[in-house]
Amino acid sequence: MTNISNLQKVLKEGKFAVTAECGPPRGANTAVVNKKAGLIKGFVDAVNVTDNQTAIVRMSSIAACSHLIQAGCEPIMQMVVRDRNRIALQSDILGAWSLGIKNILCLSGDHQTFGSQPDALNVFDIDSMHLIRTVKNMRDEGKDMSGFNLDEPPRMFIGAAANPFADPFEYRVIRLAKKIDAGADFIQTQCIYNMDRFKKWIRLADDEGLTDKVHILAGVTPLKSAGMAKYMKNKVAGMDVPDSVIKRMESVPKEKASEEGIKICLETIAELREIKGVHGIHLMAIEWEEKVAEIVKNAGLMPRS
Amino acid sequence: MIVGEQKPIAEIMEIIEPYKKILILGCGTCVKTCFAGGEDEVAVLASTIRLVCKKDGKEIKKITEQTVERQCENEFIQEASQNISQNEAVLSLACGAGVQAIAKRFPKAPVLPGINTTFIGIQEKHGIFTEECQGCGDCKLGRFGAICPITRCSKKLLNGPCGGSQKGKCEVNANTDCAWQLIIDRLTDLGQLNNLIDYIPPKNWQSSISGGPRTLIREDHIV
Ligand code: SF4
Ligand code: SF4
């Protein structure tokens, strides 16, 4: 298959994958995207491009992905079902493939009440599970949701998200299994600070044989400050930041906090690499892309192919 | 029932501004139960309007008060026809269907809404109402343990909870139960969690608000 994505290749070869995240600008400035591309190029296998993250209007994921390709990076187009109905979603998938976008991450999306325009009408015509299956059917059957035969199918590598820290915990593994059945090839998780809970989740997934069916990339986010840790604990939906992590961030002087955050991140990565079923990391350095290279290097994850 | 809430008095004053003689028409069923538009509310609103006129030094409006059993049914609407014809406008304290039902039967009467119709819901406790149904026209409650994900999940998810569900609450509001937590708990109790293992296909919204206005025809009852 010539069309196979780089990420797909790395995972297929059984290598430990590294993906990062890139939030497009709140404006039409390509230079921002190119700058981020420059910072991570060569240090990751693919980069997620968020889709109006936290329900704030930004340059479209599809356009930013296209700029990244031109800058020599492989993008993973994130797509949320919050803003577009099934017609628009399918049309964007076809458009994305035509632009050379080979990876997609299917998400439901943060509720619009968190964003800059809480007065917006949301769509949620289909859910993330439906989106996964739609891309799979487009790819494997060459059909859109109406059953129409597509002229050229989008042969995308399909990703989905999992949050081991959301409730109800017991159902999380069932939901993961459903996403795999629906067509997910890889999974990226929410950022991990509560390692015990993550391990419990992946053990359950492993017991169900799920880690053999899907590639799991464990999410990590370096903390910049104790304030950021507290904010994530209290304000970000579905995040689990244990008090021990907050205490550790508070225990160092302010100017050393970001260093400590990176240390924690590196320790987390080292621990994740030892866990059966973890096939890579997903590094979400939120607006801190300049640290990606350092983290990947110091984690001993270089060279990337 | 249909749940609604009386509009703020400032807005009501604004919409009745052009009229001197108005009929405040209450509705004795749903909106009465949710304390928005029954006899008591009609009486209180009428006195409030008079008071506000007085306070603002404006001409005091002539107000007729009446409440019918159900404004959404012709049979009951007829009882108000005399009062409607004798006034310049109707300030309806019914849900949006009631307001439109009056407008349909009385083409010449300006009909003004005095209520914001909010949702189809139930009275949880005295004074607390919760939304339970969006009238989607294709009820699948049987599968979800009689808890509606379309209405009660903020993202209308059909295949399980999003990543924002924590401690049983919805990511949107810490006071709102996560519908999926409720569904999973209830199906667990009923021993029917298997209902959720299969893929539930996308909803056909044609039976719902996306199919254009709906009409229900009961041939067997048309005379
Ligand atoms: S499935 Fe439809 S009809 Fe049934 S409760 Fe939910 S919205 Fe109402
Ligand atoms: S937290 Fe629960 S109710 Fe809220 S959007 Fe997510 S799944 Fe739906």
Tell me what ipTM this predicted complex has. Answer: 0.93
B172, pLDDT greater than 90: yes
Task: Supply the pLDDT for residue B223.
Answer: 85
A287, pLDDT greater than 90: no
Mutation test of the interface with chain A: which of B147, B150, B199, B208, choosing the one with the most A Cβ atoms within 10 A? B199
A14, pLDDT greater than 80: yes
Whole-structure pTM value = 0.95
Burial of B3 (0-12, 13-18, 19+ CB in 10 A): buried
Mutation test of the interface with chain A: which of B144, B150, B153, B155, choosing the one with the most A Cβ atoms within 10 A? B155
Residue with structure tokens 């989106």? A131
The structure tokens listed for B217 are 């025809």
DSSP string, A101-139: --EEEEE----GGGSS-TTSPP--SS-HHHHHHHHHIII
A1, pLDDT greater than 80: no
Residue with structure tokens 């989008």? A154
**pLDDT average, residue stretch A144-149:** 98
Backbone angles phi, psi at A131, to 5 degrees: -65, -40
- Which pLDDT tens digit goes with each residue over B128-156? 999 999 999 999 999 999 999 999 999 99
Residues A215, A186 contacting (CB under 8 angstroms) = yes
Can you give B36-55 as a three-state secondary structure string?
A: CCCHHHHHHHHHHHHHHHHH
**pLDDT average, residue stretch B162-172:** 94
The structure tokens listed for B97 are 């269907």
The shortest C-alpha distance from B183 to chain A (Å) reads: 11
Task: Supply the pLDDT for residue A292.
Answer: 97
- Which pLDDT tens digit goes with each residue over B21-39? 999 999 999 999 999 999 9
Cα B49 to Cα B7, B17, B62: the distances in Å are 13, 11, 10
The structure tokens listed for A278 are 């973890």
Distance CA B40, CA B67 (A): 9
Task: Supply the pLDDT for residue A168.
Answer: 94
Q: What is the CA radius of gyration of chain B?
A: 22
pLDDT band (50, 70, 90) for residue B209: confident
pLDDT band (50, 70, 90) for residue A2: low
Task: Supply the pLDDT for residue A101.
Answer: 98
User: Residue A19's beta-bridge partner residues?
Assistant: A46, A282
- Give residue B148 CA to ligand 1 midpoint distance, Å: 6
**Contact assignment for B166 to A178 by CB distance below 8 Å:** no
- Which pLDDT tens digit goes with each residue over A50-78? 999 999 999 999 999 999 999 999 999 99
Residues B111, B105 contacting (CB under 8 angstroms) = no
**pLDDT average, residue stretch B12-17:** 98
Residues A212, A243 contacting (CB under 8 angstroms) = no
Ligand 2, pocket residues at CB < 6 Å: B 153-155, 157, 161-162, 164-165, 170-172, 178-180
Query: What is chain B's mean pLDDT, rounded?
Result: 96
Residues whose CB falls within 8 Å of the CB of residue A10, separated by 6 or more in sequence, listed in order: A17, A45, A280, A305
B49, pLDDT greater than 90: yes
Task: Supply the pLDDT for residue A237.
Answer: 85
B45, pLDDT greater than 90: yes
**pLDDT average, residue stretch B215-221:** 94
- Give residue B120 CA to ligand 1 midpoint distance, Å: 10
Task: Supply the pLDDT for residue A66.
Answer: 98
Distance CA A20, CA A48 (A): 6
The ligand with the least distance to the CA atom of B134 is 1
Cβ-based contacts of A125 with chain B (< 8 Å): 202, 205
Task: Supply the pLDDT for residue A24.
Answer: 97
- Which pLDDT tens digit goes with each residue over A200-255? 999 999 999 999 999 999 999 999 999 999 999 998 888 999 999 999 999 999 99
Distance CA A187, CA A191 (A): 13
Task: Supply the pLDDT for residue A295.
Answer: 97
Residues A132, A179 contacting (CB under 8 angstroms) = yes
pLDDT band (50, 70, 90) for residue A257: very high
Backbone angles phi, psi at B181, to 5 degrees: -65, -45
Closest residue by CA, ligand 1 atom 3: B139
Identify the CA nearest to A284 among candidates A116, A123, A49.
Answer: A49
- Give residue A126 CA to ligand 1 midpoint distance, Å: 16
The number of beta carbons lying within 10 Å of the beta carbon of residue A89 is 22
Identify the CA nearest to A219 among candidates A301, A298, A278.
Answer: A278
